[in-house]
Amino acid sequence: MQDEKQIEMNQESFQLRHIDILLAHGWFRMGKHMFTVNHIGWHREIRVFWTRYQIDEIVLPASAKAILKKSAAFEFECLPFKLNPELEELYSLYRKSVEIDTADTLAEVLFRNEADDIETSPFQSYVIEMRKNGKLVGAGIFDKGRNSIMGIVNFFDPEFRKYSPGKALMLQKVKWASENGKVHYYPGYIAAGDTRFDYKLFCGKTGAEIFDPITPAWIPFRDGIVDRISNIQKDIIRQLHEPLWLDPAHTAKLIPPIED
């Protein structure tokens, strides 16, 4: 079952500040669209929470600092994104090495197989290239807003997996955002009772926030918070009759504040 909303953008009317506004309200890019979702999964419903970092509050944990040290052996460069065979070949290597259900091509990841999207995408996209002796071994793509960036995808040559290139690329995105005066970094969502998405909080807990669309508010992340909110809201929903629980304004009145 999926609970999902989606709106379509067009290049002429879409401005950088619109990305900031939509991200701040729990929306994210998919193809040429911005969408939001609170639950994922067909066989088991999983409650998800969008995450973001206050960039100037980030305090990297020791594990992140260790990866920064290891990645010093590579060259990183941030460039305006342009789809090319080198990136597609690298993505294909990565795709064959992972067991997760994901798109077969980078074009499908970014443009959802809509042919005109490549030329008419309303997003300002950048790629951070990770190279070793000139060879492309990793790439991380993000979109730029006026005061924020959203991380879209990271992929890498599996031969270099021991260097944690996906996490190294996340750190490079944070570095770019900081150097370019951005306020927020949005890596995607995490899930209650499911650790598959926890890597999105790899940059540490300090400065991390989760979005609760019912309240609605961004809440400082701490251990156990997503499970606590999910359980509270499940209990509330069980007490309501449709369509009342579909009305966030009504439901928010019944949800107690999340306190430390």
Confidence band for 224, pLDDT divided at 50, 70 and 90: confident
Q: Which residues, 6 or more positions from 225, have their beta carbon under 8 angstroms from its beta carbon?
A: 210, 219, 258
Average pLDDT over residues 217-230: 88
3: number of Cβ within 10 Å: 13
CATH number of 3-254: 3.40.630.30
Confidence band for 5, pLDDT divided at 50, 70 and 90: low
Kindly tell me if the per-residue pLDDT of 210 is higher than 60: yes
Kindly tell me if the per-residue pLDDT of 12 is higher than 60: no
Q: pLDDT > 70: what percent of the chain?
A: 81
The residue assigned the tokens 């066989």 is 43
Query: What are the backbone dihedrals phi and psi of residue 118, each rounded to the nearest 5 degrees, phi first?
Result: -60, -40
- 149 vs 34, higher pLDDT: 149
Confidence band for 231, pLDDT divided at 50, 70 and 90: confident
Average per-residue pLDDT in the chain? 85
* pLDDT number for residue 255: 47
